[in-house]
Amino acid sequence: MWYRAPELLLGTEIYNQQIDMWSVACIFAEFVLREPLFAGKSEMDQIEKIFAVIGNPTEKTWPGFEKLKLAGKLQLNKKHTANRLRDKFPMRPCGPADSMYLTDCGIDLLSKLFSLNPETRPSA
């Protein structure tokens, strides 16, 4: 469940490469952190953990979001308004590499792979 794309958790019936790209991002983040980034205990907890880091979806940022089967059951936390990936992967300006640090290029790649709108995720 920790690698499932939000659209799967919210009831989409379409499985495509964009879902796989979300999973690739989860694995990449786990390699860097050495632990899962989104370790939910249930599907709704999983969604909450995703939105806490990536930010809440809106119909503007994710067209079609409100049409997903379970989207109406969500109670979005109003605190989750911005992408907080950089907080999870701080940048170290110099010194030895540490397992949880990413450059701006790494954050850019993760941000694109973790796009809530599946249509904007890059392909393999």
Q: Is residue 98 over pLDDT 80?
A: no
Question: What is the full DSSP assignment across 6-51?
Answer: HHHHTT-----HHHHHHHHHHHHHHHHHSS-S---SSHHHHHHHHH
pLDDT confidence bin for 92, thresholds 50/70/90: low
pLDDT confidence bin for 113, thresholds 50/70/90: very high
Burial degree of 64 (CB within 10 A; 0-12, 13-18, 19+): middle
Q: Is residue 95 over pLDDT 60?
A: no
Give the pLDDT score at 90: 79
Give the pLDDT score at 94: 55
Report yes or no on whether pTM surpasses 0.85.
Answer: yes
Q: What is the mean pLDDT of residues 56-82?
A: 85
CB 110 within 8 A of CB 85: yes
Higher per-residue pLDDT: 76 or 56: 56
Q: What is the mean pLDDT of residues 16-36?
A: 95
Give the pLDDT score at 109: 95
Give the pLDDT score at 97: 55
Q: Kindly report which listed range (9-13, 86-90, 117-121) carries the lowest average pLDDT score.
A: 86-90
Domains recognised in the chain with CATH numbers: 6-116 (1.10.510.10)
